[in-house]
Amino acid sequence: MTPEAAPLRLGALVLLLGATFLAAAAGGLAAASAPEFYHSLSRPRWAPPSWLFGPVWSLLYLMMAVAAWLVVRALGPAEARTALLLFLAQLAANALWSWLFFRWHSGAGAFVEILVLWVLVAATLWQFWRATPVAGLLLVPYLAWISFATALTWAMWRGNPGVL
């Protein structure tokens, strides 16, 4: 990396961290009363405790931002356009899920939306992998968590008729 490129790359990291945690904050606004709502629902035995979601999501968001940054470093901003657009689309879909589930109590909407999110994350992972395998690998835990969350969303929706 040339000395002139260092500030640009650092700026890209700051921008991607900001975008990622902005999406997290947007979802967090919807989930402000999530622990109470979550505890009021009938949950499957395999549902994680509510305290686990914050640390898991914080780590996943950090890994997402670093993965996107690695793609920008590997390809440059112009060449990374498709991958970054997918990244931004999945961030928006990620935030939307919290609104559908926690704020609007739409189990059906949250389930359909998380299927869309899964496809967007898988496509993003593929694009990131093609740019640099390390970036793709950083999204594997995220895709695994979304897969688990898909099953949990289905179970919670089906187990709480009239509420979700």
**Rounded Cα–Cα distance for residues 164 and 8 (Å):** 45
**Rounded Cα–Cα distance for residues 136 and 82 (Å):** 14
Residue boundaries of the structural domains of the chain: 5-159
**Rounded Cα–Cα distance for residues 74 and 68 (Å):** 10
The model's pTM is 0.92
pLDDT tens, position by position, 72-125: 999 998 999 999 999 999 999 999 999 999 999 999 999 999 999 999 999 999
- Residue 139 — pLDDT band, cuts 50, 70, 90? very high
Mean pLDDT, rounded, of the chain = 94
**Rounded Cα–Cα distance for residues 45 and 66 (Å):** 34
Angle at 21 between CA 88 and CA 142, to 5 degrees: 65
Q: What CATH architecture is 5-159?
A: Up-down Bundle (1.20)
